[in-house]
Structure 1
Amino acid sequence: MSYLALKHLHVTCVVLSGLGFSLRGWWMLRESPLRQHRLTRVLPHLIDSLLLGSALSMAWLSGQYPFVNGWLTAKLFGLIAYIGLGMMALKRGRTKAIRTRYFGLALLAYAYIVSVALTRNPLVLF
């Protein structure tokens, strides 16, 4: 698969992942039973696996790696924060108020990751 095809797959998965997380967060806030639907529980894992696989493939093909390139390191740490905050928002938060705060923080982490990707600058917020 060419680098350009991988990049298109990656960007598509980034958008789908963000939209899916936002939708699941909205359902969490509304306490919708749709968040327990089988597709809602399976599809994010498929999309995120494609997202990670395309990212690793692009890094390998381009010779750009975290801990070598600062912007990729920032994206990696942003991703770790996004995953942790997202888990707290959708599953682990004890109250709706706590889950809501984590949901907002997870969306900020997602925005940071996308901003770093677009600018290739880890200090994009400063």
Structure 2
Amino acid sequence: MEHYFLIKHLHMTVAGLSLGFFMLRAWWSYRQSPWLGRRWVRIAPHVIDTALLGLGLWLMVALSLWPHQQPWLAAKLIALLVYIGLGTVAIKRGRSPAVRGVAGVAAVLTFLYMVGAAVRHSPLSWLN
């Protein structure tokens, strides 16, 4: 595992970039900003999140960490699905700014849960 620290830190850096860009887009959605319609704003999240997922999968395989053996990893992956769902409501599918705002806050809290599960290696996240 020659490049473990590089991949781990890239994963963490891209996770921070993903969260920061999500928060910016959620704010734009809440404010109904025309910036959301720009081509680069629509494409960048796919590039960032693909890199994040790829790096995470690389770490999982390289470390032989499997969700059925590591409850914290299973919880993190389930939370990822929740985060994606909340994110789509926050940016696209929310019918009103209030709904999009609540979904955005819930998505950020879910993201923070995932960080806690990864840092603490516990499905209880920061509560453990």
Task: Identify whether the pair has TM-score above 0.5, normalized to the shorter chain.
Answer: yes
**3-state SS, counterpart of residue 94 of structure 1:** coil
TM-score by length of 2: 0.93
Identity %: 41
Residue type matched to 1:32 in 2? S
Secondary structure at 2:66 match in 1: coil
Matched, 1:29 2:30: yes
Counterpart residue number, 2:75: 74
Q: Report the counterpart of residue 100 of structure 1 in structure 2.
A: 101
Equivalent AA in structure 1 for residue 12 of structure 2: V
Provide the C-alpha distance between the structure 2 equivalents of 1:117 and 1:92, rounded to a whole number of angstroms.
Answer: 29
- Given the superposition, is the C-alpha separation of residues 11 and 91 from structure 1 closer, same or farther in structure 2, using an over 3 Å criterion? same
Matched residue SS, 2:74? helix
Relative to the length of structure 1, the TM-score reads: 0.94
Give the gaps of 5 or more residues in structure 1: none
Aligned CA RMSD, in angstroms, stands at: 1.2
Q: Secondary structure at the match of 1:72?
A: helix
Alignment match, 1:63: 64
Q: Which residue is equivalent to 1:109?
A: 110
CA positional deviation for 1:98: 1.3
Q: 1:60: how far off? A: 0.5
Gaps of 5+ in 2: none
Q: Distance in 2 between matches of 1:85 and 1:91?
A: 10
Assess, with a 3 A threshold, how the Cα gap between structure 1 residues 125 and 5 changes in structure 2: closer, same or farther: closer
Name the CA distance, whole Å, in 1 between partners of 2:68 and 2:21.
29
State the 1:11 CA deviation: 0.7
Q: CA deviation at 1:124?
A: 2.5
Instruction: Specify the alignment match of 2:41 in structure 1.
Output: 40
**Aligned counterparts of 1:65 and 1:6: Cα–Cα separation in 2:** 18
The residue number in structure 1 matching 2:86 is: 85
User: 2: CA distance between counterparts of 1:67 and 1:41?
Assistant: 34
Deviation of 1:5 (Å): 1.5
Aligned amino acid, residue 40 of structure 2: L
How many residue pairs match? The answer is: 126
- Which one-letter code corresponds to 1:14 in the other structure? A
CA separation of 1:49 and 1:125: change in aligned 2, threshold 3 A: same
State the Cα distance separating 1:18 from its structure 2 match.
0.2
**Counterpart code for 2:115:** V
